């Protein structure tokens, strides 16, 4: 776990904000206070008291709030290096939930548009040794696109049945991310690609959407809808092709 232990208020605020934005598990203590047993890296200013000098923890320092991002990145790199294999869980959909685990520790979480998902995964595994990406088998068309685009990392397809938890009051919007955490912890079947033939219902939903977003009450045909379904065209590109045809 990452611990923020600094008397520098601006550094404290910036580091905590960055860690929250990344969805990282962390805690805070006063400089010089005892660290929790699960602590593995401490973010502090250079002149903050040494924290648990005998503890087996890494100390990452930042001289000012402007260096907080670099310090947080270093802390995460240390956490991943010492915590076990990096596993990324992905709950596919139009806005996939993405969770990055180092061993059993969740070190980052994201909820991004589908078009940003592959870049997000690549960025999170860039420095990892033998990373593994586990993708849920729901949202077939979106999942297939992710599997095909992540052709440079090891990918497993996971049965995502029961991975989305019950969400209580105040947890709205967290379901996809929490499902991604659960997916990351389940063994799956290694895959290199996933060929999916869109169903009639899936094609109809894409055609209906094309009519809603068009400016001229236009509906694309089955052939263009199939290209949208497999990720070869966006809705807008399909509408342009339909106009030109």
Measure the CA–CA gap between 220 and 21, rounded to whole angstroms.
39
For residue 181, the domain's CATH number is: 3.30.420.140
Per-residue pLDDT reduced to its tens digit, 42-70: 999 999 987 665 567 888 899 899 999 88
For residue 60, the domain's CATH number is: 3.40.50
pLDDT at position 10: 95
Residues 101, 183 share a domain = yes
Count CB atoms within 10 A of the CB of residue 197: 10
Residues 169, 105 share a domain = yes
**Average pLDDT score over residue span 161-185:** 88
Task: Specify whether the CB–CB gap between 34 and 59 falls below 8 A.
Answer: no
Last-in-domain residue among 83, 98, 130: 83
Q: What percent of the chain has pLDDT over 70?
A: 96
Residues 157, 66 share a domain = no
Q: Which backbone phi and psi does 127 adopt, to 5 degrees?
A: -105, 10
pLDDT at position 100: 92
Terminal Cα distance for the chain, rounded: 57
**pLDDT above 60: residue 203:** yes
Residues 98, 183 share a domain = yes
Q: Can you read off the two tokens belonging to residue 135? A: 């993708």
**Average pLDDT score over residue span 14-34:** 88
Per-residue pLDDT reduced to its tens digit, 114-140: 999 999 999 988 877 788 999 999 888
Q: Can you read off the two tokens belonging to residue 180? A: 């991604």
**Average pLDDT score over residue span 1-27:** 90
Q: What is the DSSP string of 180-238?
A: HHHHHTS--EEES----PPPHHHHHHHHHHHHHH-SS-----HHHHHHHHTTSS-HHHH
Range scoring the smallest mean pLDDT among 77-91, 96-110, 129-143, 170-184: 77-91
Residues 72, 14 share a domain = yes
**What is the number of domains present in the chain?**
3
pLDDT band per the 50, 70, 90 thresholds, residue 74: confident
**pLDDT above 90: residue 104:** no
Last-in-domain residue among 83, 116, 136: 83
Residues 77, 45 share a domain = yes
Residues 107, 41 share a domain = no
Residues 160, 72 share a domain = no
Residues 207, 141 share a domain = no
Find the domain containing 36 and state its range. 2-83
* 25 Cβ contact partners less than 8 Å away, ≥ 6 residues apart: 1, 2, 105, 106, 107
Tell me the pairing of strands 97-102 and 86-91.
antiparallel
Last-in-domain residue among 83, 105, 139: 83
Residues 46, 79 share a domain = yes
pLDDT at position 48: 92
**Average pLDDT score over residue span 85-100:** 93
| Average model confidence (pLDDT) across the chain | 88
């Amino acid at each position: 776990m990452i611990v923020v232990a600094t008397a520098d208020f601006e550094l404290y605020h910036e580091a905590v904000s960055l860690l929250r934005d990344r969805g990282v598990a962390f805690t805070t203590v006063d400089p010089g206070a005892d660290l929790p047993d699960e602590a593995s890296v401490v973010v502090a200013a250079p002149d903050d008291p040494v924290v648990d000098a005998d503890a087996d923890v890494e100390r990452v320092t930042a001289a000012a709030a402007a260096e907080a991002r670099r310090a947080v990145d270093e802390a995460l790199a240390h956490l991943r290096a010492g915590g076990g294999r990096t596993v990324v869980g992905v709950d596919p959909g139009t806005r996939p939930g993405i969770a990055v685990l180092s061993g059993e520790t969740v070190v980052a979480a994201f909820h991004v548009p589908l078009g940003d998902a592959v870049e997000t995964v690549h960025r999170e595994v860039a420095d990892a040794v033998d990373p593994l990406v586990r993708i849920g088998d729901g949202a077939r068309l979106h999942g297939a696109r992710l599997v095909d685009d992540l052709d440079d990392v090891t990918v497993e397809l996971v049965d995502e049945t029961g991975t989305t938890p019950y969400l209580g009051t105040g947890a709205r919007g967290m379901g996809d991310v929490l499902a991604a955490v659960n997916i990351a912890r389940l063994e799956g079947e290694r895959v290199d690609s996933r060929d999916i033939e869109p169903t009639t219902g899936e094609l109809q939903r894409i055609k209906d959407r094309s009519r809603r977003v068009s400016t001229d009450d236009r509906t694309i045909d089955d052939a263009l809808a199939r290209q949208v379904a497999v990720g070869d065209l966006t809705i807008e590109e399909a509408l342009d092709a339909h106009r030109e045809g």
